[in-house]
Amino acid sequence: MKRNYIRLVKEMKNNEPVFDTFVTPAFIPFKMMYQAVDLMDEMQGDKVTEKQAFDMMLDMVVDIYNKQFSKEQLMDGLHAPDALTELQEQVAFVAEGRMSEERKKELAKMI
């Protein structure tokens, strides 16, 4: 079964980030795919503001990982310049099963 991971900054030590790494559950229900596709559709329209889209993606990522971390931890642990891309990639993983080759190699080292 396909899995994914996310790294969140837990703290800074000597000006270097210390990460917590979370791996998706072995099984992600198909209904999560429906929710991810709905979310992607909503974000493409003019129905939601950018902030609402962020909130929806944050909530979905927390749900994808079965609440291994909170929305607050996710917001505090993502590096701002990379946050949007990371959230979009997490949602796309569930909606489309898409993952970069680099991410696949990193995941293989973990599990």
Q: What is the pLDDT along the chain (111 residues), one digit of tens a residue?
A: 899 999 999 999 999 999 999 999 999 999 999 999 888 888 887 778 889 989 999 999 999 999 999 999 999 999 999 999 999 999 999 998 888 888 888 888 887
Instruction: Look at residue 94 in the predicted model and tell me its pLDDT.
Output: 93
**Coil, helix or strand at residue 16:** strand
Contact assessment for residue 75 and residue 9, using Cβ atoms and an 8 Å cutoff: no
The CA-based angle 90-93-96, given to 5 degrees, is 140
Gap between the Cα atoms of 49 and 108, Å rounded: 37
Q: Whole-model pTM?
A: 0.90
Q: Could you state, in order of their start, the residue ranges of all structural domains in the chain?
A: 5-109
Instruction: Look at residue 7 in the predicted model and tell me its pLDDT.
Output: 97
Contact assessment for residue 86 and residue 6, using Cβ atoms and an 8 Å cutoff: yes
Gap between the Cα atoms of 55 and 38, Å rounded: 14
